[in-house]
Amino acid sequence: MSNPLVVWGVLAVLLFWSVGAYNRLVRLRADANAAFAAMAAQLARQTELVHASMPASMIPTGLTQPGELLDEVTALWSGLRAAATQLTASLTAMQSRPLEPQAAAALTEARDVLTNAWSRVDHEANDLAGSSIPEALTEQWLGLSAQSRAAAELFNQAVGRYNDAIAQFPALLLASMFGFKPGRGV
């Protein structure tokens, strides 16, 4: 008589453990998704700053198109605008699946390209009056960069916790059964 009771007890423990482990995996994935949303907001603020800081010569009018007079400075600004557009596209692609490794790699590359493009404009797009980026915009950029790096670090930590959880035995059995795949940080 105690055998069926022991079997039912073991099955009940396994069921409750499975539900708890599954809920933990879902919560960790949700934490990573929330951390991505915070990071995406910071990166979007950087791209907005780039678009807002474009010089008047880079804004299309009825008379000219941006970059019509291709000199080195215009080429640098065009590169910066293209880098911001690339980052926006990478953010959009990653929003539906924040833990997708290929999308995270593309976002990392786009973020680095934008940072390098801003730096090139800041250091190389100078005229006799100095840098073509006002000091207030440079300070704002540095502040946004620090915030986005901090948000990226929180995202990377959340992805690390999620990856660790789906790699632990016996939770990895549930992870493979329910399609939890490892993510990649930025």
Instruction: Give the SS3 label for residue 131.
Output: strand
Residue 1 has pLDDT above 90, yes or no: no
Q: Which residue(s) pair with 127 in the sheet? A: 130
Total domain count for the chain?
1
What's the pLDDT at 72? 79
86 falls within a domain? yes
Residue 37 has pLDDT above 60, yes or no: yes
171 falls within a domain? yes
* Average pLDDT of span 147-175: 94
Pair of tokens at residue 48: 């907005």
Confidence of residue 57 (pLDDT cuts 50, 70, 90): low
Residues 64-94: tens digit of each pLDDT = 555 455 577 788 888 999 999 999 999 999 9
* Average pLDDT of span 160-168: 95
Q: From residue 24, how far is each of 18, 114, 158, 165 by CA, in Å?
A: 10, 36, 13, 8
Q: What are phi and psi of 127, to 5 degrees?
A: -125, -165
183 falls within a domain? no
- Cα 127 versus chain centre, distance: 34
Q: Using alpha carbons, select from 19, 35, 22 the residue that is nearest to residue 156.
A: 35
186 falls within a domain? no
Cα 110-146-44 angle, rounded to 5 deg? 45
DSSP state of 132: S
185 falls within a domain? no
Give me the domain span that covers residue 174.
Answer: 2-57+66-178
What's the pLDDT at 15? 87
132 falls within a domain? yes
User: Highest-confidence range of 9-23, 133-147, 148-162, 164-178, by mean pLDDT?
Assistant: 148-162
184 falls within a domain? no
